[in-house]
Structure 1
Amino acid sequence: MKARSVAALAVVVLTVLAFGPEASAQEAPYDVVPDVEPPIYRVRYEASSEPGGLAFPVRYTLWVPSGVETLRGVVVHQHGCGTGSCKSGLTGAFDLHWQALARQHGCALLAPAYEQPEQAECRKWCDPRNGSSEAFLKALRDLGQSSGHPELAHVPWALWGHSGGGVWAGGMTLMHPERVAAAWLRSGVPSFEADPNRPEAVPFDLPGAALAVPVMCNLGTKEGVTVTDGRFSRVWPANRAFFEQVRGSGGLIATAIDPLTAHECGNQRYLAIPWFDACLSARLPEESGAPLRPMPLDRVWLAEVRGAVASPAGDYEGNPLAANWLPNEAIARAWMTYTADASVADSTPPPAPTNVRIEENVLRWDADADLQSGVAYFVIERDGEAVAQIPEAPKNPFGRPLFQGLQYSDTPLQPLRRMEYQLKDAPRDAAGYRVRAVNTVGLQSEPSD
């Protein structure tokens, strides 16, 4: 890797991310902590007074899918830097779409929320060596006990991180490669080189075991690709340097450049969740406690880092150790669509809602999100005719409209939206009512029973 590319890395990542825009991008009431009850659990730790200990208090919220006797892993959704982004982490475990991914693989969903003060140094938590790795491991033990899943302390991790959360997820991958099934780094990566301007920033090593972990570096085109000046212009050089070091060493890494966004997450989840699905399907062991399985190498596709077309590895004519590594054809085709216009196709309708009921003149139901495309809204039918849409006008300033809305750091809005509809009359029962789910590409489910 060229020295000038690497030298930029440390300056880029934690100069850009230490005081990100997330605080101003959020809206009230993000000081509100959502209530939890099973299957959602929470633990909170105070900051440590010990040298090298956790600098800020942190809450960890865990969702556990019903009917799973032994968890196979945990999906971790890590917010970015800034007070607003930290507060947005409070809703990460409630996200129906990320829950669908976790449920698909018998995993829990975990979302940390650091209590970083305004203008505080993000490095104090997003570098996992500064106490946040130790706190994370403790949270897995404690939440494993409170949820009745002590295996949580030992299962593999699927790590997603935005901004400083990407630095954290990448750092955890380098520190604990034997535990990481896959890592998605949105707009933030750790550094392999010292930064002369920040001597306290210790570079990471690249252990050989980390090369077996599939990694995706994801960023917006306005973060230094097509917009080469401004606040986030150095994010792309940082990601490129990280990619070159890992891929040049034989690592299973790719980049996915969002053609529409800057530092916000946009529509990345529609590539990230299928990508995690492919990686977890390949890597999670069938038996709890067994080691992670290696990624298959006979289905790999490759693509130029800023190219538009991927091809099977055997047909690729360039240097494979300078190319994007994509695990299979389905992901390669989704990557091509995403990097072209940030859309990912989906031809499968969502699952039908269940447990439709009336409680105090309110129609309520349960529903799982579509694994590929999430949930945009629900249609309420009475005697076969549509009478309402919930929400009436779903919104999302950062991507496709969603039932739960979406924040800058890819988590649901507060107050958390409920699956309910206030009835205008007082029916005796719910027999005449049906509910349909509609995903974010407009596909509609079968009606509920």
Structure 2
Amino acid sequence: MVTMTLRSHIALALCLLCHLGASDLFQYRLTLAPEPIPESVGSATAAAALQAANEKTYRAWLWLPEASEKIRGVVLSSWIMDPWNDDGIRAALAGADLGIVCIDPHFDTTWENAEGASSKRFERMMRDLAALSGHPELAAAPVLPVGHSVGTLFASRFPYAHPERCFGAITFKGGFCLNDDQPAKVVGIPWLHIQGQFEEFGPGPSGVLRENEDRSTGAHTAMTSQLAHRAKHPGLLLGLLVDPGTTHMCWNPQTYAVVARHIITAAKLRIAADGSLRPVAVAEGAFGSGDVFHPGTPLLAKDAPEKNAGSFWYGDLDIAQEVTRLHQLTGKKTQFVALADAKGKPVDVGHDLRLKFTPAFDGPDTFTLVGAFVTDKIPKKFPAEALPIGHADGPIRFRTGRSTSRALTQIDADTFRLGWDGRGQGMILAWHPGDGTYRPAEQPARLMLPDLKGATAQTIAWEPATTITAAQLPLVLTATASSGLTVRFAVVYGPAVIDEQGRLALAEVPRNAPWPLSIEVGAFQVGSYVAPLVAKAEPVVKTFVVTK
């Protein structure tokens, strides 16, 4: 087993700031069948919610470390793929024999108890994934639930329904929903809450910022309310990370070191050698400052028990120190970034983050973005600042966010290519890392390309032999589009990758994988957004069966 230090994670996270790719490989996919609604569901409203959930098609995606003989636990997340596609986080999980299960769409948030339809769906999903992957231990494996925004309700409620299955939890840019009537259920479970410093949403019932609230309200409310929870329940192992300069929608690579370390440290502390879970004591971790905007020096919990009620708890001193370093960035000077139009003028995005212009396409399926610093005004609902606003040196950078790695591919610093799902939608992030004077800044925007009116229709022709042997790989994939445009390929699921030359090759085959292997591949052509206009083709999807 390889153990990665926090310094290694930090180096990997910093590397990612200029890294344009990451792995979205999942070796297995499972379609979940509906669950019957129990008669004792509790209320007509809850029954209606469960019925609506049953009408959805849930899919579970499983990634396993290829070298692991036995999986000790899994991260259980909704389809928020940014961190789980990161090579550094996956390396850390592999070193701890931990896998990843992602649900698309995320489970409903009602999750009332261990007997409800969602819990039964979860239990059956884990049994089916165990059979599918050749890892029977997955059926009862400990999990660490992760949720974003409204999905934090799921991540908060799951530990109450299944404390015996949780080795930790992460709530990301939403709510930490503590049930004060049953705090004992989650005492001893390492928990990390991440809040953006300047989120678009507030703590009110609708989520919309109220008259007396601004972009900093959510972070300050998270700090005061969660510190109050720790004071009231001293055994609550809750740590807060305020992500400096960030908003609500996107994960930030600057937090990945902490995320990875929290997961593997929670597993180390809570999962016993026989796979059972043990309560973690406060004295086994470390304390970070209760005032995240003026952080003090982190301390080992065993050395400062008197600090418990006024501090946040982290799994070890390395985590507390890295969180403190990030919190120190929150107090640096403000800078604002934006996406810009072709003339370099900053473009405001509304509350729905919709980008109000079509980017400049420089090829049939590639476009280039332009960014700008905002210096002459304070964006809506940000705390007041004296004008003009300065900024750090260096260019504004771009990346995809919110699980759009399959919708958009970043091919250089400011150029993107439409991806295999062909929807012409995705989250784009303009960002700047800051410097010694200015804190990081970001502006997310939703890219929603219009339909191409008057575009020529096209189809894809692809009829490969789908039963092959491992010896035939790498295999060059060839398909044609009636438009004459290049057909690209993507692995939907399976232990395989496809390179830029269209060669299909095995990758990350788990050591216990049942043979033959199943690899689903899509052939796609997204059309042309430059003249002559061509509409996107219907993708052609094939399942390859690979024998030894």
| TM-score above 0.5, yes or no | yes
Please point out which of 52, 55, 67 is paired with 2:52. 55
- Using structure 1 for the length normalisation, give the TM-score: 0.57
| Structure 1 residues without counterparts, runs of 5 or longer | 1-33, 80-87, 116-123, 193-202, 343-375, 377-389, 402-406, 424-449
Deviation track 1:7-64 (CA, whole Å, cap 9, x = no partner) reads xxxxxxxxxxxxxxxxxxxxxxxxxxx998x832323334756654363222111112
SS of the residue aligned with 2:159?
Answer: helix
- Determine if the alignment matches structure 1 residue 337 to structure 2 residue 320: no
SS of the residue aligned with 1:189?
Answer: coil
| Distance in 2 between residues matched to 1:125 and 1:67, nearest whole Å | 33
| Distance in 2 between residues matched to 1:398 and 1:309, nearest whole Å | 31
Alignment of 1:339-378 (within 5 A): 339-341=327-329
- Determine if the alignment matches structure 1 residue 107 to structure 2 residue 98: yes
| Distance in 2 between residues matched to 1:45 and 1:61, nearest whole Å | 15
Cα distance 1:204–1:46, how it changes in 2: closer, same or farther (>3 A)? Answer: farther
Q: Which residue type is aligned with residue 237 of structure 1? A: T
- Determine if the alignment matches structure 1 residue 294 to structure 2 residue 290: no
| Distance in 2 between residues matched to 1:292 and 1:394, nearest whole Å | 48
| Distance in 2 between residues matched to 1:236 and 1:133, nearest whole Å | 33
Please point out which of 132, 143, 146 is paired with 2:118. 132
| Distance in 2 between residues matched to 1:298 and 1:49, nearest whole Å | 42
Instruction: Name the counterpart of 1:213.
Output: 189
- Using structure 2 for the length normalisation, give the TM-score: 0.48
Alignment of 1:240-259 (within 5 A): 240-250=224-234, 251-259=236-244
Q: CA deviation at 1:283?
A: 2.3
Contact 2:288 2:324 in 1 (8 A): no
Contact 1:128 1:168 in 2 (8 A): yes
Q: CA deviation at 1:328?
A: 2.2
Percent identity reads 20
Asked which structure has the greater RCO (Cα within 8 Å, sep 6+), the reply is 1
Greater share of helix: 1
Contact 2:223 2:291 in 1 (8 A): no
Deviation track 1:148-187 (CA, whole Å, cap 9, x = no partner) reads 1222121111222211222211111222222211111112
Instruction: Name the counterpart of 1:143.
Output: 129
Deviates more, 1:140-149 or 1:295-304: 295-304
SS of the residue aligned with 1:184?
Answer: strand
Deviates more, 1:44-53 or 1:262-271: 44-53
Instruction: Name the counterpart of 2:310.
Output: 322
Q: CA deviation at 1:400?
A: 8.5
Cα distance 1:244–1:391, how it changes in 2: closer, same or farther (>3 A)? Answer: same
Instruction: Name the counterpart of 1:379.
Output: none
Q: CA deviation at 1:93?
A: 6.2
| Distance in 2 between residues matched to 1:45 and 1:190, nearest whole Å | 30
Instruction: Name the counterpart of 1:195.
Output: none
Count of residue pairs brought into register by the alignment: 306
Instruction: Name the counterpart of 2:175.
Output: 189
SS of the residue aligned with 1:310?
Answer: coil
| Structure 2 residues without counterparts, runs of 5 or longer | 1-22, 42-46, 204-208, 331-398, 400-409, 416-427, 434-443, 447-488, 503-548
Please point out which of 237, 260, 263 is paired with 2:248. 263
SS of the residue aligned with 1:332?
Answer: helix
Instruction: Name the counterpart of 1:43.
Output: 31
| Distance in 2 between residues matched to 1:332 and 1:280, nearest whole Å | 17
| Distance in 1 between residues matched to 2:157 and 2:314, nearest whole Å | 21
SS of the residue aligned with 1:67?
Answer: coil
Instruction: Name the counterpart of 2:413.
Output: 393
SS of the residue aligned with 1:126?
Answer: coil
| Distance in 1 between residues matched to 2:36 and 2:64, nearest whole Å | 28
Cα distance 1:248–1:35, how it changes in 2: closer, same or farther (>3 A)? Answer: closer
| Distance in 1 between residues matched to 2:34 and 2:83, nearest whole Å | 20
The two structures, once aligned, show a CA RMSD in angstroms of: 4.1
Greater share of strand: 2
Q: CA deviation at 1:97?
A: 4.1
Instruction: Name the counterpart of 1:68.
Output: 68
Q: CA deviation at 1:245?
A: 2.3
| Distance in 1 between residues matched to 2:66 and 2:176, nearest whole Å | 35
Contact 1:61 1:111 in 2 (8 A): yes
